[in-house]
Amino acid sequence: MNYAFLPDLSALTILIVILLLLRHRHPQRQANLWLLGLFFTFIESAAHIFYAPVGLPSTILHATVIICYLMAGLVFVWASGTYEFADRRTFVFLLINSLPLLALCAMYGLHLFSKTAFLPWIGVGLIGGVASSLYLRRSPVITMLLTAGWLVVGFLAFHEKYRQTVYWSLGIVYAVATVNFYRKLPRNSTGRLAIITGFSIWSFFFFLHPFIVTYRTYADIASHIWNLQKSLISIGMILVMLEEQVSCNRWLALHDELTGLSNRRCFEDSLAASLDRCRRSRATLAVFMLDLDGFKQVNDTHGHHAGDLLLRHVANSLRDHVGYVDSIARLGGDEFTLLACNPNVGSIEQLRDSIREATELPFLFDGNSLSVSASIGIALYPDDADDATRLLRIADLRMYSLKQARTPLRHIRLDSVPALTASGRFRSRAASGHL
């Protein structure tokens, strides 16, 4: 056995275990593909240990190593793309173009060096690549690239350059993964730098291998550099997972997890910023406080799952159907709030009507059409108040005055609520004499 590879194998094992632990704590779909790609890399590294004068046949080990290189590369190409697991067309496209490459790697690993072993598979790859790119991808650019790639591979095999045929094909696979990761991962990510560097080394040395393998001194140096890529890629993937978790935590700190809207903390920051902007520009700020009428009945009748889906439905409706607002937030329970800077009186009433109509859009649950209405309280800066606390209190009281009018059994002190006109228009603090 070749124990010289044990340190590298041990380091790779430790990094894979760390990635597994991170995946268990913070499940991410892409981590499954990363682990699968690293699993093939682990098998390739383990196979090197068994290279010895007396032991397993070198052809079997060589074929295992080459095939694992290809399988890992293909998995990383899938992981680095924007492909969905349910995207069957893309999966079939990759499968059609992978099988001929898999056959070439097997032929080379088993030392079947002949044109009759290589050229038929290259022909299958050329025909399958052109047909699949035209029918499944429908991209002339991909068609031309595949055609050029298979023609170059065929030219090398025809001139009996089998090592270049296989290793350059692997280099192209890993170059595609490099470009995909470069485009997919966030630009300010430290993990992205490690991953791109690792795959660049991997791809470059696949192209370099046919030339450097005959120079023993340089080959040993290249082997040490080559071993860097596995650690770089593993560390990069760990960093990307940690960075995504930190980003997710930051997002959750300012957003409501159920609806995706801003939460109370984010809304308070938005309200403070809007007030400062309106003070400088002497503009009007409208604060809309919204409470759902009938939400409790939906929860009691259909369960909390239906209530959660209804809240998401209302949030999406407000986002999609209410325009000219600067912020939409869920403060908690069935209470929402919206901010609109510099609207005129007509716009305020139009916004109120738009909010009510969006809220009352029907929602389907288990074949039942459910709907709720909305009680909406409005407060204006500077007419009603000039600070955030009083604006929210006035909007809240006006909302509950409407809710009490719709639900008489609730006992709300009307003498503490700003008056409403008979037409439904609200009077300002100065006009109503309240607050």
In the DSSP assignment, the letter for residue 415 is: G
For position 307, what pLDDT does the model report? Answer: 87
For position 126, what pLDDT does the model report? Answer: 95
Residues 6+ apart with CB under 8 A from 12: 38, 41, 42, 45, 230, 231, 234
User: For residue 165, which amino acid is it?
Assistant: T
- Distance, in Å, from the CA atom of 227 to the CA atom of 202, rounded to the nearest integer, reads 9
In the DSSP assignment, the letter for residue 135 is: I
- Taking the alpha carbons of 298, 303, 307, 310 in that order, is the dihedral positive or negative? negative
Residues 6+ apart with CB under 8 A from 6: 49
User: For residue 41, which amino acid is it?
Assistant: T
Are residues 206 and 171 in contact, defined by beta-carbon separation less than 8 angstroms? yes
- Distance, in Å, from the CA atom of 130 to the CA atom of 126, rounded to the nearest integer, reads 6
For position 15, what pLDDT does the model report? Answer: 86
Which residues face 332 on adjacent strands? 335
Per-residue pLDDT tens digits of the chain, which is 435 residues long: 666 777 778 888 888 888 888 877 766 667 888 889 999 999 988 887 877 666 667 888 889 999 999 999 999 998 887 666 557 888 888 899 999 999 999 999 999 999 999 999 999 999 999 999 998 888 889 999 999 999 999 999 999 999 999 999 999 999 999 999 999 898 888 899 999 999 999 999 899 888 887 777 777 777 777 777 888 888 898 888 888 888 888 888 889 889 999 999 999 999 999 999 988 888 889 999 999 988 888 888 888 888 889 899 999 999 888 877 888 999 888 899 999 888 766 688 888 889 999 988 888 888 778 888 889 999 999 889 888 999 999 999 999 888 887 654 333 333 334 443 333 333 433 333 333
264-432 classified as CATH 3.40.50.1370: no
Residue span(s) of the chain under CATH 3.30.70.270 come to 264-432
Measured CA distances, 372 to 27, 303, 314 (Å): 36, 15, 9
CA-based Rg of the chain, rounded to a whole angstrom?
32
For position 198, what pLDDT does the model report? Answer: 92
Given the DSSP bridges, would you call strands 373-381 and 285-293 parallel, antiparallel or unpaired? Answer: antiparallel
Residues 6+ apart with CB under 8 A from 424: none
The total of other beta-carbon atoms located within 10 Å of residue 180's CB is 19
Six-digit token string for 16:
């894979």
Which residues face 374 on adjacent strands? 292
For position 31, what pLDDT does the model report? Answer: 81
Q: Of 169, 199, 171, nearest to 184 (Cα)?
A: 199
